[in-house]
Amino acid sequence: IIGGEVMKTYAIVCKQDQESITLSEKLKEQLNTFLTYNEKEPDIVISVGGDGTMLYSVHKYIDAIDRVAFIGIHTGTLGFLTDYQRDEYLQLVLDIQNGQHRIYERHLLEVSCLEGTYFALNEVRIENNRRSQVMDVYINDEYFETFRGNGLCVSTPVGSTAYNKSLGGAVINTCTGLMQLSEIAGIHHNAYRSLGSSLILDQSHTIRFQSQSYQGAILGVDHLVIDLKDKDCICVKMSSKKARFLQYRNVSFTQRLKRAYLNS
């Protein structure tokens, strides 16, 4: 989407280390000359920190997700969800002032369990490190498989380069509306069989995870960790909610991948 919106207000979500705090102060000094700081109703949310700070930012503004646009500046090594490095903060200020932005939308996952409904930018994980977790997987209410192992992970295209990648899942172009189910240390032998490979589904699918017992298991939603109830029932689908990211630089998905994983 080419953005025609005029950005008037902003907020900063900052990692609580000295470098990020100092950088946030410098940014504020510059931005306050042409934008108004409004933590409650910002047009732009600037994440200062790492990929984890961007995840936190999206969760913080989830109730305003339709009207807020996110952009990130990285204070560590270059992150995947952040377009600017720490020494480029004046360029970020100039780019915001210029206003020639694009907005790109990224699909979120929606997960419901007994504790409530949550949204994920990266992934939803059901993990059990205390004992092997047994769960039945249903796709659109149709029984698919019984999984045994440490857990299962459902990732968005954005999250495909995060935990999902460590699990051997595929990297998926971030503009697609797909979700990917990957196993976390699945047990496979003559008696126990599950798909083993990652499974890619689309917006028409809902995945349901049912178990005799979720004792000791957690539900991971990006950086959040939620204790599951013993007799929980977990449903995951692509949400109609999307996170909107500001883009001033034309970085292709291929470039982003090369920058993060291939160039030394």
222 lies in the binding site for ligand NAD (CB under 6 A)? yes
141 is catalytic: no
Please tell me the distance from the alpha carbon of residue 146 to that of residue 155, in angstroms, as a whole number.
19
First to last CA, the chain: 32
Q: Do residues 246 and 103 make contact, with C-beta atoms less than 8 angstroms apart?
A: yes
Candidates 2-10, 31-39, 153-161, 178-186 — which segment interacts with ligand NAD by CB under 6 A?
153-161
159: contact with ligand NAD by CB under 6 A: yes
Q: Nearest 5°: phi and psi at 238?
A: -70, 135
Nearer Cβ to ligand NAD, position 31 or 49?
Answer: 49
Smallest distance, ligand NAD to C-beta of residue 82, A: 9
Does residue 169 touch ligand NAD according to CB under 6 A?
A: no
Calculate Rg over the CA atoms of the chain. 20
Q: Which stretch binds ligand NAD (CB under 6 A): 131-139, 162-170, 186-194, 208-216?
A: 162-170
Q: Looking at beta carbons only, is 94 or 225 nearer to ligand NAD?
A: 225
Say which of 17, 43, 51, 66 is annotated catalytic: 51
User: Per CB under 6 A, does 20 bind ligand NAD?
Assistant: no
**What distance lies between CA 255 and its chain's CA centroid?**
20
Here the tokens at position 131 are 């004992």
Which residue from 46, 55, 68, 238 is in contact with ligand NAD, where contact means CB under 6 A?
Answer: 55
Find all residues with CB under 8 Å of 228, minimum gap 6, and list them.
113, 114, 115, 126, 214, 217, 218, 219, 234
User: For residue 243, is it left (φ>0), alpha (ψ between -120 and 50) or beta?
Assistant: beta
Residue 81 binding ligand NAD, by CB under 6 A = yes
One residue of 10, 61, 70, 80 binding ligand NAD per CB under 6 A: 80
Of 9, 21, 26, 52, the residue at the interface with ligand NAD (CB under 6 A) is 52
Which CB sits closer to ligand NAD, 79 or 151?
79
Tokens of 46: 């600037």
Strands 102-113 and 233-247: antiparallel
62 binds ligand NAD (CB under 6 A): no
Q: Which of 117, 166, 173, 203 binds ligand NAD (CB under 6 A)?
A: 166
Phi/psi at 152 (nearest 5 deg)?
A: -135, 150
Element holding 253 (H helix, E strand):
helix 253-257
Residue of 193, 205, 223, 242 that binds ligand NAD (CB under 6 A): 223
Q: Residue 34 and residue 148: Cα distance in Å, rounded?
A: 56
Q: Does 47 bind ligand NAD (CB under 6 A)?
A: no
Q: Which residues of the shown chain bind ligand NAD in the complex (CB under 6 A)?
A: 50-52, 55, 79-81, 122-123, 158-159, 161-163, 166, 222-223
**Residues annotated catalytic, as ranges:** 51
